[in-house]
A and B are shown apart, each in its own frame.
Chain A
Amino acid sequence: MSKRKFGLALSMVLAAGTILGACGTDKDKGDSSSKGDADKESFSIAMVTDTGGVDDKSFNQSAWKGIKEYGAAHDLKKGDGGFDYLQSSEAADYAPNLNKLVQREFDLIYGIGFLMKDAIEEIATQRKDTHFALVDEVSDLPNVASIMFKEQEGAFLAGVAAAKMTKSDKIGFVGGMKIPVIERFEAGFVAGVAAVKPDLEVDIQYTGDFAKAELGKAAANRMYSSGVDIIFHAAGGSGNGVFAEAKERKKADANANVWVIGVDSDQYEEGQVGDDNITLTSMLKRVDNAVKEVAELAAKGEFPGGEVKTFGLHDDGVALADSRGAIPEDVLAEIDEFAKKISEGEIEVPEFVKKK
């Protein structure tokens, strides 16, 4: 009895070994050939996500998209000497993840998100020969490039769109944590609304969290109930609650006039309710463009270390997404006009929220 069991176990181990062995050699072959392509010539890049992960439908995902596009454009492969990412599940992972990528000798390493600042600065002081880039925060170290966005400019356009489209003359803004980045959204949005309808007051609420959809939903519920018809959210995952609330209202009453303006990436799909869609438009933050541009600069030997690269409307760093018919042509034309004025410097969008 026990002998037979033993034999069975042995044969399974052997079988598994053969299968696994086959996998191993295959992978090895792939590796060696890819290493052959990627000589010292090619410029390799990698990124560390913050705790949002690489599929956060927000800036981590956008940054990874940029890195993949850079890789495709330069014929790089995922892995050593090409491009890659590491995901952080805890704040304690930031520094070790950055360090792992340094040890794998990537030429340029991105830290995505303002939370990475401390870790990037620590590793950058230790590894002076590696180049780093930090998104959404500023560092003075000579081997760190800082990538910032003029969120206020994109939010301004969202504000114009909202003010033009509102029927109840009530507009809402749902923010995540009250930090400088999100306040830029608020400041730009309020300014954009004021540029069209100076008397209109924006209902502003912060959820204090980027990952709690229920808080976003509660805020949206209060706003829609008080007559608000368009809400702009800059609240990451909490913003999904804003979408959920709007969709529920649309489902209950197909004629309900509720809209959401999405953030960071095109959130059109989030707003689909049957045949209707409650996404008015989305304010895009083109982390992908910024990531690509810094990589191109660095590959040419012009790495902007110690500098702050700011991406606004002018540099395709922010934009409004395709509204897919939700916004009529004449309003779009007006938005374009504002966009032109901003990118030519005719309108200066405020970066800070006015203190009341």
Chain B
Amino acid sequence: MSNRFINILVPVVSIILGLIVGAIVMVFSGYDPIKAYIALWNGIFGSPYAMGETIRQISPYILAGLAVAFAFRTGLFNIGVEGQLIVGWFAAAYIGMAVELPAIIHLPLALLAAAVAGALWGLIPGILKARFGVHEVIVTIMMNYIALHTVNALIKSISGGSYKTEKIHETASLRSEFLSNLTDFSTLHYGILVALAMVIVMWFILEKTKTGFELKSVGFNDQASQYAGMNVKKNIVLSMLISGAFAGLGGAMEALGTFGNIVSRSAFTGIGFDGIAVALLGANTPLGVVFGASLFGSLTYGAGNMPNEAGVPIEIVSIVIALIILFVASGYIIRVVLSKMSKKKEAK
């Protein structure tokens, strides 16, 4: 078997294995796996509505994945995507609601606000890491809590004691009549275009600019980079800044597209943490993140149709989806098995 063939075969085999193990779980709990998988398929691709919602779900995952992946390339583990996303969500919702401008300025301004808010939230751990060597994992985890509760307090104060902000103005919305009609009233919005644009931006920065080269170089070996005359500290701060901006834009997807406002939360959204898995599934490359996010997003959304159409309880569904992702993530094992099998054949 050639290498290329194995590269294609591995993800396919892992998904199939995940589906089979998931089916076994369902059979043992007394549900019909075939019906359930048909429901999953229908939940993702079954109707224009489902496809619209699936794409809507994928958009923030792409941005969260990019945020994690970008920091990773510089050797930083940004667990703070969740918090950066929440402050971005708030910033976009606030600009969308508080100012009145024509759409051509309003929407970009709201997106920019989200990116800046996220970037600032990423900047703090970046500076602490660069200046004082404080480990970014600790700082970013703590920054998540600060973001969550600060934003809750801000929501309360700007809404006059309510638990949610007012809806954003039409001019800041990513939603459109056209997409809504196209997909039978789904919440699909233009955020997917923003997300894909950011994929290109990340690819461009990393592959086509000197800064990107430096960032990657710091990721490979910071001491060697220092020796080569690069400013490691500056690159660490910059990396966290850009990573935070991606995450903030992920929050803007929710603020300007899906929800149109921000509601005070008692727990994290989970999108930022799923972003870690998305980035790792995608091997921290921009294109890989798109695939990782598509897998995550469509499974997350499509899974909701399994209780609806096949009557499988949501808890079993969560197990099945987790199994599929687990198998995809452990593609390395399958790769080893496959290459051993092919070696044996060659030996024969």
Residues of chain A at the chain B interface (Cβ within 8 Å)? 16, 19-20, 23-24, 27, 53, 79, 86-87, 89-93, 95-97, 99-100, 103-104, 115, 118, 123, 126-127, 177-179, 209-212
The answer for the CA separation of A19 and B32 in the assembled complex, in Å, is 10
Q: When the two chains form their complex, are residues B267 and A211 in contact, meaning their CB atoms are under 8 A apart?
A: yes
User: Given A19-B27, A87-B314, A95-B187, A27–B163 Cβ distance below 8 Å?
Assistant: no
Q: When the two chains form their complex, are residues B311 and A79 in contact, meaning their CB atoms are under 8 A apart?
A: yes
Task: Please indicate the chain A residues that have their CB under 8 angstroms from the CB of B261 in the complex.
Answer: 118
How far does the Cβ of B33 sit from chain A's closest Cβ, in whole Å? 6
Contacts of B4-43 to chain A: CB distance below 8 A: 23, 27, 32-35
User: Given A86-B308, A87-B314, A24–B35 Cβ distance below 8 Å?
Assistant: yes
User: Given A79-B311, A86-B307, A126-B185, A91–B35 Cβ distance below 8 Å?
Assistant: no
The answer for the CA separation of A91 and B187 in the assembled complex, in Å, is 13
Q: When the two chains form their complex, are residues A20 and B185 in contact, meaning their CB atoms are under 8 A apart?
A: no
User: Given A79-B311, A86-B307, A118–B259 Cβ distance below 8 Å?
Assistant: yes
How far does the Cβ of B153 sit from chain A's closest Cβ, in whole Å? 10
Against A, the Cβ 8 Å flags (1 = close, 0 = not) of B285-314 are 000000000000000010011011001001
Q: When the two chains form their complex, are residues B258 and A92 in contact, meaning their CB atoms are under 8 A apart?
A: yes
How far does the Cβ of B1 sit from chain A's closest Cβ, in whole Å? 14
Q: Which residue of B lies closest to A178 (CB)?
A: B161
B136 at the interface (CB under 8 A from A): no
The answer for the CA separation of A264 and B57 in the assembled complex, in Å, is 34
Q: Which residue of A lies closest to B345 (CB)?
A: A2
- Of A91, A123, A211, which is within 8 A of B263 by CB? A91
How far does the Cβ of B233 sit from chain A's closest Cβ, in whole Å? 38
Can you sample 21 A-B contacts with CB below 8 Å?
A19-B27, A20-B27, A23-B32, A23-B35, A24-B32, A27-B32, A87-B307, A90-B269, A91-B259, A91-B263, A92-B254, A96-B53, A96-B186, A96-B301, A99-B186, A118-B259, A118-B261, A126-B185, A177-B264, A209-B266, A210-B266
Residues of chain B at the chain A interface (Cβ within 8 Å)? 23, 27, 32-35, 49, 53, 57, 161, 163-164, 167, 185-187, 254, 258-261, 263-264, 266-267, 269-270, 301, 304-305, 307-308, 311, 314, 318
Task: Please indicate the chain A residues that have their CB under 8 angstroms from the CB of B254 in the complex.
Answer: 92
The answer for the CA separation of A115 and B133 in the assembled complex, in Å, is 42
How far does the Cβ of B163 sit from chain A's closest Cβ, in whole Å? 6
Q: Which residue of A lies closest to B152 (CB)?
A: A208
Q: When the two chains form their complex, are residues B185 and A99 in contact, meaning their CB atoms are under 8 A apart?
A: yes
Residue of B32, B305, B318 with most partner-chain A CB within 10 A: B32
Task: Please indicate the chain B residues that have their CB under 8 angstroms from the CB of A91 in the complex.
Answer: 259, 263
Nearest 8 A/B pairs, CB to CB: A23-B32, A126-B185, A209-B266, A87-B314, A100-B308, A96-B53, A20-B34, A211-B266
User: Given A24-B35, A126-B185, A179-B163, A97–B304 Cβ distance below 8 Å?
Assistant: yes
Task: Please indicate the chain B residues that have their CB under 8 angstroms from the CB of A87 in the complex.
Answer: 307, 314
Q: Which residue of A lies closest to B32 (CB)?
A: A23
Q: When the two chains form their complex, are residues A100 and B259 in contact, meaning their CB atoms are under 8 A apart?
A: no
Task: Please indicate the chain B residues that have their CB under 8 angstroms from the CB of A118 in the complex.
Answer: 164, 167, 259-261, 263
Task: Determine the main DSSP class of A at the interface with B.
Answer: helix
Residue of B254, B259, B267 with most partner-chain A CB within 10 A: B259
Given contacts A86-B304, A96-B187, A115-B263, 10 further A-B pairs with CB under 8 A are: A20-B33, A20-B34, A24-B32, A79-B311, A87-B314, A100-B304, A118-B260, A177-B163, A177-B264, A210-B266
Task: Please indicate the chain A residues that have their CB under 8 angstroms from the CB of B260 in the complex.
Answer: 118
Task: Please indicate the chain B residues that have their CB under 8 angstroms from the CB of A20 in the complex.
Answer: 27, 32-34
The answer for the CA separation of A86 and B312 in the assembled complex, in Å, is 11
User: Given A89-B314, A91-B259, A97-B304, A27–B49 Cβ distance below 8 Å?
Assistant: no
The answer for the CA separation of A89 and B313 in the assembled complex, in Å, is 12
How far does the Cβ of A298 sit from chain B's closest Cβ, in whole Å? 22
The answer for the CA separation of A100 and B185 in the assembled complex, in Å, is 11
Task: Please indicate the chain A residues that have their CB under 8 angstroms from the CB of B311 in the complex.
Answer: 79
Q: When the two chains form their complex, are residues A100 and B314 in contact, meaning their CB atoms are under 8 A apart?
A: no
How far does the Cβ of A106 sit from chain B's closest Cβ, in whole Å? 12
The answer for the CA separation of A99 and B43 in the assembled complex, in Å, is 12
Q: When the two chains form their complex, are residues B163 and A99 in contact, meaning their CB atoms are under 8 A apart?
A: no
Task: Please indicate the chain A residues that have their CB under 8 angstroms from the CB of B307 in the complex.
Answer: 86-87
Task: Please indicate the chain B residues that have their CB under 8 angstroms from the CB of A115 in the complex.
Answer: 263
The answer for the CA separation of A79 and B307 in the assembled complex, in Å, is 11
Q: When the two chains form their complex, are residues B266 and A92 in contact, meaning their CB atoms are under 8 A apart?
A: no
User: Given A89-B314, A118-B259, A212–B304 Cβ distance below 8 Å?
Assistant: no
The answer for the CA separation of A118 and B258 in the assembled complex, in Å, is 11
How far does the Cβ of A46 sit from chain B's closest Cβ, in whole Å? 10
Task: Please indicate the chain A residues that have their CB under 8 angstroms from the CB of B266 in the complex.
Answer: 177, 209-212
The answer for the CA separation of A53 and B53 in the assembled complex, in Å, is 21
How far does the Cβ of A72 sit from chain B's closest Cβ, in whole Å? 18
The answer for the CA separation of A79 and B266 in the assembled complex, in Å, is 32
Q: Which residue of B lies closest to A115 (CB)?
A: B263
The answer for the CA separation of A24 and B33 in the assembled complex, in Å, is 9
The answer for the CA separation of A95 and B185 in the assembled complex, in Å, is 10
How far does the Cβ of B96 sit from chain A's closest Cβ, in whole Å? 14
The answer for the CA separation of A90 and B60 in the assembled complex, in Å, is 14
Q: Which residue of B lies closest to A101 (CB)?
A: B308
Task: Please indicate the chain A residues that have their CB under 8 angstroms from the CB of B167 in the complex.
Answer: 118
How far does the Cβ of B235 sit from chain A's closest Cβ, in whole Å? 35
Q: Which residue of A lies closest to B267 (CB)?
A: A211
- Of A19, A96, A103, which is within 8 A of B304 by CB? A96
How far does the Cβ of B202 sit from chain A's closest Cβ, in whole Å? 25
How far does the Cβ of A341 sit from chain B's closest Cβ, in whole Å? 32
Residue of B33, B53, B308 with most partner-chain A CB within 10 A: B308
How far does the Cβ of A4 sit from chain B's closest Cβ, in whole Å? 15
Q: When the two chains form their complex, are residues A99 and B49 in contact, meaning their CB atoms are under 8 A apart?
A: yes
How far does the Cβ of B325 sit from chain A's closest Cβ, in whole Å? 15
Task: Please indicate the chain B residues that have their CB under 8 angstroms from the CB of A93 in the complex.
Answer: 304
Task: Please indicate the chain A residues that have their CB under 8 angstroms from the CB of B318 in the complex.
Answer: 89
The answer for the CA separation of A178 and B314 in the assembled complex, in Å, is 30
How far does the Cβ of B161 sit from chain A's closest Cβ, in whole Å? 8
